[in-house]
Structure 1
Amino acid sequence: MPGNQLNGHISPDIAQLSRLRYLNLSMNSLDGEIPQTISSCSHLETIDLYSNSLQGNIPPSLGQCSALQTIILSSNNLQGSIPPELGLLPNLSALFFPSNKLTGNIPELLGSSKYLRWVNLQNNSLSGRIPPILFNSTSLSYIDLSQNWLSGSIPPFTQASSSPLQYLKLTENNLSGVIPHSLGEIPQSIGKLEQLTNLYFEENDLTGLIPSSLHGCKHLTKLNLSSNNLYGRIPPELFSIYTLSEGLDLSYNQLTEDIPAEIGRLINLNSLRLSNNKLSGEIPSTLGECVLLDSLHLEKNFLQGSIPNSFINLRGIAEMDLSHNNLSGRIPEFFESLSSFQFLNLSFNDLEGPVPEGGVFTNSSAVFIQGNRKLCATSPILQVPLCSTSPHKRKRTSYIVAIAVPLAIMVDVTLGCALVIVLKKRNQAKQLTDQSARLMLKNFSYTDLFKATDGFSADSVVGSGTFGMVYKGQFEFELCPVAIKVFRLQQLGAPSNFLSECEALRNIRHRNLIRVISLCSTFDPTGSEFKALILEYMSNGNLEGWLHPKMFRQTAEKSLGLGSRITIAVDIAAALDYLHNRCTPPLVHCDLKPSNVLLDAEMVAHLSDFGLAKFLSNGSELFNSSSIAGPRGSIGYIAPEYGMGSKVSVEGDIYSFGIILLEMITGKRPTDEMFKDGINLQSFVELSLPNKINEILEPSLTAYHEGKDIDQVVDTIQSCAIQLANLGLVCSEMSPKDRPTTEDAYAEIIAIKEEFSVLWNRVGS
């Protein structure tokens, strides 16, 4: 009975259900304690009490339920220690206790469970040392002990060569000592964990060198050792882990010497962070061989020399921060041609010469070059001195341009062709190791999806809409979950909705768009047509659930500060800028609303649900939507002109974006019951500007912030909220011609984000 708004206690009379095998009361409002009498349910195999308000201790009597396989008590207020008796359960395979208030040590008996595969104790107050037996289990494949008070050193991996461990997260603890490596004849190296795909040791007090033996983790896709006290050189062997694709983060340590040239071997890497260390020498030109990089952070080191010309190969780069180094020379002119750039920080170096004029440099809110005294510009937009040129210099320049431009075009074309070939080969290599790519190569059957969703069970449902249901799925032998969107083909417009979504998502790729992994088009066991999409799973749900937590039975801890809301708004605007201005032909989403803005584990926003999306050609629709009755979009967010039969346009998406901005600051849906008698969300906000803005703000935005001066907090929030309100109002103007362009809206929201960051950092304690 998940998600049924149940409240009150779990009755001790549950003991009378002696034959009960499966109990799911998740996502309700149950409080009180878990009854001790539950041990009388001797046939119980699964207990799922996720996301309630349960208190008290975990009953040790659960250890008497010998048939128990899965225990899920996540997101409650449970206290006390973890009963050691649970480690004696003979069939236990999964233990999920994150986001509670558990204290004490981790019982050593957990490591002796013969079939235990998943342990998640994240976000509690557990203390003491990690039991060595836990890290030497022959069954555990997933361990998350992050956000606790665990201390001592990381236990040695003495049985690593036979370990099935794939996911290990120890983030935000008080662990000290060195990362385990071979000592004499004792094999305790973490590098022996050959099945490991995700390793997170960030935000601890680890010291020593990064073990070169880490290269033995030959299936690693993400490695994060940031915010520790690691020192010495980055071992070149680390860059032989060709599977590293999702991220390598060694920032905020004490690493020294140069960046090894071997870094160019990481041809599948998307994100690299080496910032806030003591690295020296030049940026290796081989870094340009990491052609799939979309995020590069090398700031706050002692790097010198020029920016490598090989960076011209980073065609997908979205953000690059090289600030606070000793870089010299000119800013490469080819930066103008890197169209995916959204953020470039070159500030506080020793760069010189004229600043390029095109590309990202036309957006002053996306480029930071202050602190380079020898730079100049032909336009005051970037706030550096203007370049001085004589008539003779200009004449000479024109001759150079006449010769150089055609030559540059020829070089660009040649490099472009070579890059296409390289990318194709390297993408093929990535597909052999990355989980998403493996799934993309697989043809999924109805049976595969049926098993992954536990028979399309109700407790697997994570969302629903007009044309289908979305389930959380877990494929056998895969670590990460997926989202499976099953279309209701009997619903009018659903078949064309499926085709539209496939067409829209086939050729687009952006960090703020949901990614389709694969699809399934077949027949179910009854002979009925069956269509589904396999998508990335977003662990933090959708924006609507965060803006209206009470409606979605989320805890008070699940609230978004203004800074987080602005960042999400920037992500939405970045996605729209890509769809409207970077796609050929342009693509209009048509159904932008908070429930279609999904949030990943890092709270990065991704637009989803492209079933109503439309391509544009020469300013008109490439195909119509006659298969879908009524206006395109959702009530409250749909542009008013659509209701009068107007064609789809980018201005319609901007209107929806404006409504979302107003909903973000007020906490009010555009369909709220309070909006009647000529009052709507826009007029509600407009009447408050500027002096009564505090009266309409969502209350949690101005709540007490520990360690901050409350008056300064309120002033900062009100100032930026007024700017958001003004942008939301102009974006949601009734007439499409009165709305800003996508580029202008994107630039404005970035400027608001930058101003909020500056003001927030000034808020005193």
Structure 2
Amino acid sequence: MAFSKPSFYTLVHPQVFLFFFINLGCLQASASVRETDELALLEFKQGISDPHGIFNSWNDSLHFCNWTGITCGRRHQRVISLVLEGQNLFGSISPHIGNLSFLRLINLQNNTFHGEIPQQVGKLFRLQEFLLGNNSLQGEIPLNLSRCSQLKMIYLQSNNLTGKIPAELGSLMKLEIIELRYNYLTGEIPRSLGNLSSLTIFSALNNNLEGSIPNEMGQLKSLKHVIVGGNRLSGIISPSLFNITSLSTLGVASNQLNGSLPDNICFTLPNLQTFAFGENYFSGPVPNSLSNASHLEAFDISDNNFVGQVPSNLEIYRPSVAPLEMNHLLKVSYKDLYQGTDGFSCSNLIGSGGFSSVYKGFLPQVQTPVAVKVLNLEQTGAIKSFMAECNSLGNIRHRNLVKLVTCCSSLDYKTNAFKALIFEYMGNGSLEKWLHPCAEGENQKRSLNLLQRLNIAIDVASALHYLHDLCGKPIIHCDLKPSNVLLDDEMVAHVSDFGLAKLFSINSNLSLSQISTTRINGTVGYVAPEYGMSGIASKEGDVYSYGILVLEMFSERRPTDEMFKEGINLHNFVKAALPKRLLQIVDPTLLPKEIANEECDDDATMEVTTNLRQCLVSMLEIGVACSMESPMERMNMADVMNKLHLIKKTFLNIQMEGD
């Protein structure tokens, strides 16, 4: 019997075919789903202006998992993370973001996104972190956000959100952080938040919330920070809230709350570090137990109706450039600023720089003139500069620091992004204009006498001493120079422009108190030499800038003067001349006319002005000591302050004796 030759198909088991076709189908389906992610990202890109070219890699030449800001899971090659923080992006958030169904993290903070948060985010059932803070988003918080059952963090601070806090958020049982500060939210704090047993932070500072703080929040035994100052909250605070032993921050300043404080508050809140109750209607005795509050770092019960004395050990925490938490900042719109500056007219322009232009203006909410600093958002780093100033100036107050009145993050009349900082107006302009009036186009020659320069040097040193050593978290200014020192109507100096400022925690293991891996640009001539090598900010870097500023004040020579080249700088120039050749380096306007106009050596002309000579030499020596090339050899601001006060005291005593 003859048999035909078996074909390949009859030799292969049918189950092999079944396995092959099933897997082929799975591969095709997987490819289709991955294509959905790619299309969603491209739609997201379409509605955004990208000045830094972040989206240049978002093209067909690269797999989308390798695009800037994108992270994919290893198993399914699906997008799990979208991180584009601080890239100066401007635009709206596409509803197509809801198609990224494997997304666990969205971080679009510190940009200029506007429009509404799309309801489609409710489709992201795997989402854990939702970070959209510091933008210009409008509209309401999406109700559909409650469908994201895995959410742990919601950051929506510093936007223009309106409407109520959705009660539906109370169903997100894994939620740990709700950050809503600096918006325009209304209504009450939902009672449903009392269901969030994992909640550690609830912050809604500076909104328009009403009603009382829900009693149900007293059930949250993991709660560490409650920050609801600057609203319209009323009623009493539930006793249950004072029994949350984990509570570290209780900030309710600038509301309409009333009632009294429990006498045993120190024992029921053993971990309390910040207690901000100022500007309310609280009454009754000041609790005696507060004297045992060993962990308190910030304390304010001012502007209430309490009776009795604050324990002496807490007096240092009572605020006198007000309540804690940035006060209750004014709400100002683009319209307010536009009208208050006559449409940002040239006649009101008082200064300009790389990141901003500053206008003199008037606001109906403020009785005195203000300085409106409008950010140039097309300039790289402007957003970071805006955030640095807000973060630095928002929580610090000192006589010699410029006072931040409020800020504005909105859209202009052409729907372009708009950000501005509003400061107290300084009537006498910058120190730069007083030291170099001709270079600034001033028609009238202005000069500072010796006592005025002494006072300005002390004012600036006092501000730096406070920033470095006395405020809660030390702050590095990073760009100290004469144009950033402003003089008020009384010629009191105020340090301004914190666009490069860095907040840091001191590390005892680092001799330079290093605080940042971000490169510090600063200003040529004033920036410390070590910044060019390491780019790491330090207190010693600020001290160097201060030393150069002092040398400039008393020599009237810029550190960028054409004479400084081939290894000679302002520091070396002054150091080499001291103490004998003082006349060659000192500003002639500080000398008596008969000396300044003569061409002879110091010894012959300075015999009758020994005391003046001593003062000038001492000030220049401080400038030299602060601007040493090695950071370890520079003075610290506490020692500078002591020496300056001694020099001024000696100078004034000599003047009185002469009189």
Give the alignment's TM-score, normalised by structure 2.
Answer: 0.48
Name the larger-Rg structure: 2
Alignment TM-score, normalising by the size of structure 1 = 0.42
Higher relative contact order, structure no. (Cα contacts within 8 Å, ≥ 6 residues apart): 2
